[in-house]
Amino acid sequence: MLELNTKPDALEVDETKSAVVVVDMQNAFASKGGLLDIAGLDISAAACVVRKIAAVLEVARAARLPVVYLQMGYKPDQSNSGGPNSPNWHKELGMNLMNRRPELKGKLITEGTWDFEIVDELRPRAEDLVVVKSRYSGFAGTSLDSMLRTRGIRYLFFAGIATNVCVESTLRDAYFLDYWPILLRDGAMPAGPAAAHEATLYNVEMFFGWTLQSDDFITALDLSKG
């Protein structure tokens, strides 16, 4: 069992039933020239988040924890976007921008594009699980739940972008499905002001799970090895 210095209280986690979930670490959200940057949102913290996640994944893989990548993306014909009758068509940032700016159509979070790809520093490995999604939550319309259950996973460590959108949405659904969600506080970044990140930390600690510093996660895994 991993003894974790989580907030709001300490937690014991079964390492053999744990996985790391990397949410939307794509050029769209972490790179200059990507969706968030085009939308005028501050991505200056992205490089630090990438480094934190890379360190976490190195130790997690050494401990043989499954790594799950969530990847936001639409088909080139946008057939999985929901269309004009779906709120997703109007509110999801990528779809909204492509609808308002025709020159961007098919270029933002669209399968096969640079914007869609996971950043080079965090490229998935052959043994990792990759789940492409077209909604904020990684559980919405995907096989994520069945993939986790068939592997006996109960505890999920979350990192990625954006804390207040896709990370929080997936974490909430994990809680509703009776997984134990732990958010790596410094392994995530908001879309919007820092207060949005803090609001998610509050929501998680008060209502939906636990939070943990990435260094504490790494230390706990190192200690478990011997």
Q: Catalytic residue numbers?
A: 24, 133, 166
Rounded to whole angstroms, what are the CA distances from 109 to 81, 186, 196, 219? Answer: 11, 24, 22, 35
Closest CA to 43 of 25, 54, 27, 30: 30
Write down the H helix ranges in the chain.
27-30, 35-38, 46-62, 87-91, 93-100, 144-150, 168-176, 194-203, 214-224
22-46 burial string, b = 16+ CB within 10 Å, else e? bbbbbbbbbbeebbbbbeebebebb
- DSSP 8-class letter at 167: I
Cis previous bond, 60, omega within 30: no
